[in-house]
Amino acid sequence: LNNTEFRKIAHQVADWIADYWENVEHYPVKSQVKPREIYEALPEEMPANSEDFSAIWQDFQQIILKGITHWQSPNFFAYFPANSSYESLLAEMLTAAMGAQCMIWETSPAAAELEEKMMNWLKKACGLPETWSGVIQDTASSATLCALLSAREKFSDFQINEKGFESFTNFRVYASVQTHSSIEKAVKIAGIGKENFVQVPCDEHFAIRTDLLEKLIEADWQDDKKPLCIVATLGTTSSTAFDDLEKLSEIAQKHHLWLHVDAAYAGTAFLLPEFRHYLKGIEKADSYVFNPHKWMFVNFDCSAYFVKEKEWLIRTFEILPEYLKTQNDSLVNNYRDWGIPLGRRFRALKLWFVMRSWGLRGLQKRLREHIQLAQDLTRKIATHPDFEILAPTTLNLICFRYKPTHITDENLLNTLNEKLLQTLNATGKVYMSHTKLNGKYTLRMVVAQTYVLQKHILNAWQLIQERAEKLQTDYLE
Ligand code: PLP
């Protein structure tokens, strides 16, 4: 393409995007393609000769689009969202247009300085400790790995950095049985070993049993193990349960452990002062992550990672080959030393666009609307004789199941709810996901799409009731 052709097509693409967002609720939310369908529709080899853009565009619409699950649909209620907004999308276009690789300050000073400023805005807006430092990571998984690697280096006096694992094989990492799988992954990658990952049982609200945790840590010290890190979850993936951070921070301090806080999803709620009580004790923690790319209208990927003492992070990751040295190294933040990759995308721009265009009040208003919609639906489900709420709706994730009064067999209820979810998702009208809570197959419905309205929730609830009733007649008779 040349510039003239690009200009023409880019206008068409921008129109297509605007149409897409206007109509996205009418697409089947969950892609209905069969495994390998897209793969088989594509040629075996790249074309030898240039293809016309119109042919590529046609295939995008005919082949690719049907294999897309529409995460920006207001009927998307699955997992946790990866929501976005017009502002974020515009910033992402500009980021791609400039194509800056922001590995060090010098390779784009605006990217480094905007990132520092945006992390400070977020820190203040969410009530995080003022003296902490922030950096954007791609995902919460990477941030948690950074936390474990920093903890490992700190508590080995940087011996592992220098000599490898030799004398440090007994580290222990603690989290609840409800913690996200990324913690176990980080433990594995950090070389700590899966058997040294201690998953502590939860109470009836799915929060970590701090009494058991403390006993386990004490027993490990007695046993010549080396308790290294506690990972607290604020907003678990299954049910948005909150661990008792205040208690965990006391335990971490008393026993000299690193405390990492995973608030990947729920961290956005701390823009609302009424939820900040969950953050009590944060000043005693060492690191904290939340994902604006989940519920803060900033498109994937953008994970905000904060640390109490940036020195541990930098000392863990710092590397300075001759070809990356610059005159300003002592004056600026070179974020290549604050995480794993050298190359970095310009992610701060979309945060800036969103925070300026929405303002704190605008963000708060929309978050409260989401929470209210979820609370209203929770009440409806709870008072329906054939449905049951399975965990408190602390924010905007509803955990529930279909439970007709005459069915008490738990296996049958599990099968019934699994079928219900499949049926619902096959309609293309909604997309929800599931988990298991206390062995019960649980439907998860998250009300957090940027542009979701009450009508989408009411339609979904209507559909759920209809399909559940039909399933009962078809399946049980
Ligand atoms: N932690 C929690 C509590 C999550 O819910 C998730 C994802 O849903 C993650 C971590 C992982 O997030 P990411 O995809 O950014 O690595």
Assign domain 100-345 to its CATH architecture: 3-Layer(aba) Sandwich (3.40)
Alpha-carbon distance of 47 to 474, in angstroms, equals: 50
The whole-chain average pLDDT of the chain stands at 96
Closest atom of ligand 1 to 291 CA is 15
Answer yes or no: are the C-beta atoms of 132 and 123 closer than 8 Å. yes
For residue 126, pLDDT over 80 is answered with yes
Distance in Å, CA 126 to ligand 1 centroid: 19
Calculate the CA 206 to chain-centre distance: 19
Alpha-carbon distance of 200 to 445, in angstroms, equals: 26
Answer yes or no: are the C-beta atoms of 414 and 403 closer than 8 Å. no
Distance in Å, CA 303 to ligand 1 centroid: 10
> If phi over 0 gives left and psi between -120 and 50 gives alpha, with beta otherwise, what is residue 164?
left
**pLDDT, mean of residues 50-74:** 97
Closest CA to 258 of 248, 267, 273, 266: 248
pLDDT bin (cut points 50, 70, 90) of residue 477 is low
Distance in Å, CA 82 to ligand 1 centroid: 11
Tokens of 24: 């996205």
For residue 156, pLDDT over 80 is answered with yes
Considering the four listed CATH numbers 3.40.50.970, 3.90.1150.10, 1.20.1050.10, 1.20.1340.10, the one that applies to the domain covering 3-83 is 1.20.1340.10
| Digit-coded pLDDT (tens) for 374-407 | 999 999 999 999 999 999 999 999 999 999 998 9
Q: Tell me, what's the pLDDT at 368?
A: 98
Q: CB of 140 closer than 6 A to ligand 1?
A: yes
Q: CB of 233 closer than 6 A to ligand 1?
A: yes
Q: Tell me, what's the pLDDT at 175?
A: 98
Which H helix or E strand runs over 442? strand 440-446
DSSP assignment of 375-428 equals HHHHHHHHHSTTEEE-S--SSSEEEEEE--TT---HHHHHHHHHHHHHHHHHTT
Query: Fold match between 3-83 and 100-345?
Result: no
The residue assigned the tokens 């910033």 is 91
Q: CB of 239 closer than 6 A to ligand 1?
A: no
Which H helix or E strand runs over 288? strand 287-290
Q: 363-476: which CATH topology?
A: Aspartate Aminotransferase, domain 1 (3.90.1150)
Q: Tell me, what's the pLDDT at 168?
A: 75
| Digit-coded pLDDT (tens) for 444-472 | 999 999 999 999 999 999 999 999 999 98
Residue type, 158: F
CB atoms within 10 A of CB 7: 10
Closest atom of ligand 1 to 139 CA is 15
| Digit-coded pLDDT (tens) for 203-260 | 999 999 999 999 999 999 999 999 999 999 999 999 999 999 999 999 999 999 999 9
Alpha-carbon distance of 47 to 56, in angstroms, equals: 11
Q: What does the DSSP 8-state code read for residue 465?
A: H
pLDDT bin (cut points 50, 70, 90) of residue 416 is very high
pLDDT bin (cut points 50, 70, 90) of residue 107 is very high
For residue 287, pLDDT over 80 is answered with yes
User: Taking the domains of the chain in order of start, what are their residue ranges?
Assistant: 3-83, 100-345, 363-476
| Digit-coded pLDDT (tens) for 330-362 | 999 999 999 999 999 999 999 999 999 999 999
> At 51, phi and psi to the nearest 5?
-105, 150
pLDDT bin (cut points 50, 70, 90) of residue 159 is confident
**pLDDT, mean of residues 427-443:** 97
Q: Calculate ∠ Cα 44-49-50, nearest 5°.
A: 105
Q: Give 192's contacts (C-beta < 8 A, 6+ positions apart).
A: 148, 152, 171, 172, 173, 228
Distance in Å, CA 229 to ligand 1 centroid: 18
Which H helix or E strand runs over 200? strand 197-200
For residue 475, pLDDT over 80 is answered with no
Answer yes or no: are the C-beta atoms of 183 and 262 closer than 8 Å. yes
Q: What does the DSSP 8-state code read for residue 81?
A: -
